[in-house]
Amino acid sequence: GIQVEQSPPDLILQEGANSTLRCNFSDSVNNLQWFHQNPWGQLINLFYIPSGTKQNGRLSATTVATERYSLLYISSSQTTDSGVYFCAVERGGYQKVTFGTGTKLQVIP
């Protein structure tokens, strides 16, 4: 099956710092999503981004499908950004979903 690797696995930031999270995938995909899982376990969709660049406030994402990677940018990080960030890729007619390994982010005041 498809492999989805994320880096770095762990990241500690001072509040206000910027960061870039990376997602590499081993095969072509139909779609890619970024999720944030907060410390209480709730998963929230951040971006649906099969290609190109999208921005939402302090967050933006870029997917280069031909090179099989996606990047999530977090600017001016806040403590509420803490949690685990997952990318998830979709393949096949019914968009079978495979989640990545995750990046655990801790933002300290």
Partner 1 sequence: EAGVAQSPRYKIIEKRQSVAFWCNPISGHATLYWYQQILGQGPKLLIQFQNNGVVDDSQLPKDRFSAERLKGVDSTLKIQPAKLEDSAVYLCASSLESGRGRQDTQYFGPGTRLTVL
> Per rule CB under 8 A, is residue 96 in the interface with partner 1?
yes
Residues 2-31 that bind partner 1 (CB under 8 A): 4, 30-31
Which listed residue (12, 27, 48, 53) binds partner 1 by CB under 8 A? Answer: 48
> Per rule CB under 8 A, is residue 99 in the interface with partner 1?
yes
> Per rule CB under 8 A, is residue 78 in the interface with partner 1?
no
Contact 81, 105 (CB under 8 A): yes
The tokens of 57 are what?
Answer: 């406030």
Strand ranges (E), 8-102: 10-14, 19-25, 31-37, 43-48, 52-56, 59-64, 69-74, 83-91, 96-99
Contact 21, 103 (CB under 8 A): yes
> Per rule CB under 8 A, is residue 106 in the interface with partner 1?
no
| Residue ranges in contact with partner 1 by CB under 8 A | 4, 30-31, 33, 41-45, 48, 50, 86, 88, 92-102
